[in-house]
Structure 1
Amino acid sequence: MNDSVQRKLKIALRINWICYIGMLVLFVAWNLFLEGGSLFLWCLQTIPLLLVLPGLLKQHYRSYLWLCFILLLYITASIVDVMMPTRGWQDGVLVVLSLILFFSSMMSSRWHRMQ
């Protein structure tokens, strides 16, 4: 069972980093290349994600749990934005990235504790 958990954890951690970096790149692109972006909005979007970065780098399972709590805010806001008539492609991408990151972080935390 330990090999199975290790393999699942490895896959989940890759997905975590892909989605985490994807969200940060999305926020940079959103605020640099699209109208309505600003430095204040970029800080507001990225600082909560960056708060858990030291723990993620050290692979503390509690950091993944905290990331899940933080992501609930992103999921809620992005789903509301997707339902607006003025939505853009970036709103849909944010919903997908934040949901995938939420589930992979939740499972990563669980599999870290099972080791």
Structure 2
Amino acid sequence: MTLNQKVKYSQITALLSYLLLLVLLVVSTLITTLPPEASRGLMLAVKIVPLIIFLPGLLKGHLRAHIWLCFVVLFYFTRSVVAAYLTEGDLLESAITATTVLLFIASMMNVFWQKRTGVPL
């Protein structure tokens, strides 16, 4: 497999896992029981907006978007691991954890392979 193919596949994998993470976060917000004074919209915005910021850069394949996304995904990973532990391996939280791991690895490999092709930051 050539280096350009690796870059293409890692970008596709990162984008698909990114979209899956967004869907899983929306689903987890919608099925969560909240107190009456809590706002589902605000809760959803707090979960989704930090990820949506990176969408234009990911669609264009920019290295900096992948690098910064990896930093932000670490927060989602930490939250989902704690939630999965506290819910004794809830399927949704475990799926969010696995998706964050996949997204992190795909983005980091994309950065690694793009840098080897000579793409500047």
Equivalent runs, 1:9-48 vs 2, <5 Å? 9-32=7-30, 34-36=31-33, 38-48=40-50
AA matched with 1:51: I
Instruction: Tell me the TM-score normalized by structure 1.
Output: 0.88
Where do 5+ consecutive residues of structure 2 fail to align?
35-39
Task: Work out the number of aligned pairs and report it.
Answer: 112
Q: The residue matched to 2:32 in structure 1 has which SS?
A: coil
Q: 1:72 is matched with which residue?
A: 74
**Greater CA radius of gyration, 1 or 2?**
2
Report the 3-state secondary structure (helix = DSSP H, G, I; strand = E; otherwise coil) of the residue aligned with 1:36: coil
TM-score by length of 2: 0.84
| TM-aligned CA distance change 1:90 to 1:66, over 3 Å | same
Partner of 1:56: 58
CA contact (8 A) 1:65 1:106 kept: yes
One-letter amino acid of the structure 2 residue matched with residue 48 of structure 1:
P
Letter in 1 for 2:33: G
Structure (1 or 2) with the greater helix fraction: 1
In 2, are the aligned partners of 1:31 and 1:39 still within 8 Å (CA)? no
1:97 alignment counterpart: 99
After TM superposition, give the deviation of residue 86 of structure 1 in Å. Answer: 5.9
Identity of aligned residues (%): 29
CA distance in 2, matches of 1:46, 1:68: 15
Instruction: List structure 1 segments (4+ residues) > 3 angstroms apart after TM superposition.
Output: none
Structure 1 segments unaligned to the other structure (5+ residues): none
